[in-house]
Every structure is written in C-alpha cells, then in structure tokens.
C-alpha cells in the first residue's frame, strides 16, 4: 500500500489549545505524523510518496466556500491586529445568538468558524492544512485510479471540521473532501467509516442531508466525551440522507469485545449500503494508553481492524485522523494497514 506524506505538516507546530480551564501545548503535535511515517518505512508498508497539488474546488463543495477562503487569512490578520501566540477564538455563536452575520474582527471570525479553542493557527498552519488536503486527494486519486488501497498520512486531521466550523485540531475535513472527490471521479456511492475514538462530528454534519455518502461512526459516548454535542445513536440523517448516518456511541472502558462487535455491525450496514469505495477515518486514540481517551484497545487489536475492513472487498482509502500516545501511534496506525494487507493476499 502506498503512503502519501508531506513534510509540510511540520510547520504546524508550537500551537496551544484550551482544555478544561488551561492553555496548554496541543496534544496534536508534529511527532505524531513522523512516528507513523517511520513505522510505515520500518515495516515496509510500501512506497512513501509526496502529494500532488490540488486546487480547493472540491473543498469548497463540502465546506462553506467563505470558510475555505477564511483560513489562509487567519495568521496575517491575527498578527496585524496586534495579537501574538496561537490564533484562537474566545467567544462562539451558540443557540440564541446569530449565526447569519459574519463579524469583521479576526478574533470574532475565529469564533464564528469554530466550536472550540482547539484548532489554533500559527504561522505554518495554513500551509500544513493545505498539504494535508493534498495528501488526502493524492491518495484518493490512487484509489480512483485502480489501487486497492492507499494511506493518506494527513496532518492536521480533519474529521471534526464541519461545513463551516473547525475544532478539535481539525480545519479542512480531509476524509470528506476525499469522499467528494471520489464521487466526482466515478464513484456512485461512498461510505466513510470513522474509527477514531472521538465522534467525527464534522463529517456527520457535512453529509447529514445527503444520500450519496454513508457515514458510520464508532466513538466515545458524547454524553461524557468530547466533542459532546453530536454523535448520539438517534442521529440517522435527514432528507435524502435519512437512514445513511449511523452512530455507535460506546462507554468508557470499551475493549475489543464491545468495539469489535460495533465494527461488525457497522460493516454489515456498509455492505447493505453497497458503496463503490470506503474511506476510513483512521484514528488510533482508541488505544488503552492514549492520554486523552478512555477505550481499551491493545496493539494486537489494530491489525484485526484492518483485516475486517479488507474483508469488505472494496477499494479503500485510509485517511489519518487522531491518536495521541505518540510512542505507540506508529505501531497501531500501521498495524491497521498491515492487517489490511495481510487480508489482501
């Protein structure tokens, strides 16, 4: 399996985030991607290739075009306004407030286009976002071109980014943009299977009213787990998307028994939907020693995920999302991919 990787992710570094009353270095840091790249090389997963350049037209089809146009302007406007450090919002248009008027001030636009203070900008952030987007589409083009599978080693991740909001370390929704690109290049239907510990609230929100993309999410129960305000079992899609969104909120402490059973059920729903391609939002923060998560998967479980997905028999695009136990992230993420390759023999 080919891996697409860009060193430009590394410019997104040194940013901070707000978490439970503290400003702290973001858990989403450059070493994550480097550990995964190194592991892919170590086990000989396949060639590691740089991305091609893609325009943002597809991104503008899944995101609000104004949101896409906003992001490249953030850092310059933040510094021009006299602020220093990581560009972060500090107030948000929650229910009862207006979401139909975009304010002018940069700090207000950051709030308008986000749901937390966990997707900050530093000088290199936009270039990293752009490279991560290109990584996803380059890998998508490999799958579209006939490869059985490809690995988009994206950083920053994307699944928390919605149509017009960032948050949770995510800016452009790489998996959603890739799914749209696949639809635009021959696929009739795409399933996005999100196995990250956290609910892919952005992905769900983007496709909630659409029937051409099925979204399946396995994640920590949003009653107790970030990102909290989406991901319940009763969210089934609406309009043309009715019945094509499937959430599996799982309790803290879930191990392979519970998690694997949910994966089997999700795979059954995926098969019933009959997509032409599968996009996997690959997070490995389900790991027992992940610093911000509370599932109990062990390293030996990750190849099982890959084998299960391979058994679907479909072209498969893996898009990297979360996972924060940096020492093990490479072993676990690449474990999914080698599990897939072992099945695909």
The Cβ of residue 160 has, within 10 Å, a number of other Cβ atoms equal to 32
| Phi and psi, residue 45, nearest 5° | -60, -35
Tell me: does residue 227 bind its own copies (CB under 8 A). Answer: yes
Tell me: does residue 222 bind its own copies (CB under 8 A). Answer: yes
Tell me: does residue 202 bind Zn ion (CB under 5 A). Answer: no
| C-beta pairs of 253-259 under 8 Å, 24+ apart in sequence | 253/294, 253/295, 253/296, 254/295, 254/296, 255/288, 255/295, 255/296, 255/297, 255/298, 256/296, 256/297, 256/298, 256/301, 256/304, 259/218, 259/286, 259/295, 259/297, 259/301
Our CB check for Zn ion shows the closer of 225 and 341 to be: 225
Stretch that binds its own copies, among 54-62, 110-118, 297-305, 311-319 (CB under 8 A): 110-118
Contacts of 333 (CB under 8 A, 6+ apart): 36, 39, 282, 284, 302, 320, 323
Alpha carbon distances (Å) from 236 to 163, 216, 229, 269, 278: 18, 10, 15, 12, 19
Stretch that binds its own copies, among 25-33, 142-150, 157-165, 289-297 (CB under 8 A): 157-165
Shortest separation between residue 79's beta carbon and its own copies, angstroms:
12
Tell me: does residue 165 bind its own copies (CB under 8 A). Answer: yes
Binding-residue pattern over the window 186 to 215 for its own copies, x denoting contact by CB under 8 A: ---------------x---x----------
Measured CA to CA, the distance from residue 285 to residue 197 in angstroms comes to 5
Coil/strand/helix, residue 166: strand
Tell me: does residue 283 bind Zn ion (CB under 5 A). Answer: yes
Tell me: does residue 19 bind its own copies (CB under 8 A). Answer: yes
Coil/strand/helix, residue 44: coil
Measured CA to CA, the distance from residue 213 to residue 241 in angstroms comes to 8
Contacts of 270 (CB under 8 A, 6+ apart): 191, 193, 214, 216, 278, 312
Write out the catalytic residue numbers: 160
How many Å separate Cα 170 from the centre of its chain? 7
Tell me: does residue 230 bind its own copies (CB under 8 A). Answer: yes
The binder of its own copies chosen from 66, 80, 105, 261 (CB under 8 A): 105
Report the residue number whose CB is nearest to Zn ion: 322
Binding-residue pattern over the window 314 to 333 for Zn ion, x denoting contact by CB under 5 A: --------x-----------
The Cβ of residue 63 has, within 10 Å, a number of other Cβ atoms equal to 29
Measured CA to CA, the distance from residue 84 to residue 319 in angstroms comes to 32
Tell me: does residue 236 bind its own copies (CB under 8 A). Answer: no
Tell me: does residue 111 bind its own copies (CB under 8 A). Answer: yes
Stretch that binds Zn ion, among 9-17, 136-144, 196-204, 255-263 (CB under 5 A): 196-204
Shortest separation between residue 68's beta carbon and its own copies, angstroms:
16
Shortest separation between residue 322's beta carbon and Zn ion, angstroms:
3
Coil/strand/helix, residue 338: helix
Residue 232 binding: pick among its own copies, Zn ion, none (C-beta 5-8 Å cut-off by kind): its own copies
The binder of its own copies chosen from 112, 126, 318, 340 (CB under 8 A): 112
Our CB check for its own copies shows the closer of 223 and 236 to be: 223
Tell me: does residue 173 bind its own copies (CB under 8 A). Answer: no
Q: Which parts of this chain interact with its own copies (CB under 8 A)?
A: 16, 18-23, 83-88, 90-99, 101, 103-105, 107-108, 111-112, 114-118, 120, 162-165, 167-168, 201, 205, 222-230, 232, 235
């Amino acid at each position: 399996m080919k891996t697409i990787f860009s060193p430009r992710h590394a410019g997104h570094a040194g940013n901070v985030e707000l978490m439970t009353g503290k400003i702290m270095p973001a858990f989403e840091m450059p070493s994550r991607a480097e550990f995964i790249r190194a592991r892919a090389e170590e086990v000989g997963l396949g060639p590691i290739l740089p991305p091609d350049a893609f325009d943002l037209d597809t991104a503008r089809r899944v995101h609000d075009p104004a949101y896409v146009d906003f992001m490249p302007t953030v850092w310059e406007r933040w510094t021009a306004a006299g602020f220093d450090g990581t560009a972060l919002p500090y107030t948000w248009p929650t229910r009862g407030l207006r979401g139909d008027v975009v304010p002018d001030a940069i700090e207000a636009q950051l709030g308008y286009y986000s749901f937390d203070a966990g997707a900050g900008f530093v000088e290199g952030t936009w270039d990293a976002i752009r490279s991560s987007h290109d990584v996803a589409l380059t890998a998508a083009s490999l799958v579209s071109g006939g490869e059985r599978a490809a690995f988009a080693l994206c950083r920053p991740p994307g699944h928390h980014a919605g149509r017009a909001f960032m948050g949770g370390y995510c800016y452009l929704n790489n998996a959603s943009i890739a799914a749209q690109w696949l639809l635009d290049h021959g696929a009739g239907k795409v399933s996005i299977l999100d196995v990250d510990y956290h609910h892919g609230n952005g992905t769900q929100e983007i496709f909630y009213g659409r029937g051409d993309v099925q979204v399946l999410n396995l994640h920590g129960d949003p009653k107790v787990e970030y990102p909290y305000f989406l991901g319940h079992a009763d969210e089934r899609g609406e309009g043309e998307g009715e019945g094509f969104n499937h959430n599996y909120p799982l309790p803290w402490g879930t191990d392979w028994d519970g998690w694997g059973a949910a994966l089997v059920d999700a795979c059954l729903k995926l098969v019933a939907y009959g997509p032409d391609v599968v996009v996997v939002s690959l997070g490995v923060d389900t790991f027992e020693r992940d610093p911000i998560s509370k599932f109990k998967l062990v390293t030996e479980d990750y190849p099982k995920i890959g084998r299960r997905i391979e058994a679907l028999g479909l072209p498969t695009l893996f898009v990297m999302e979360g996972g924060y136990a940096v020492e093990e992230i490479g072993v676990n993420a690449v474990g999914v991919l080698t599990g897939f390759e072992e099945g695909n023999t």
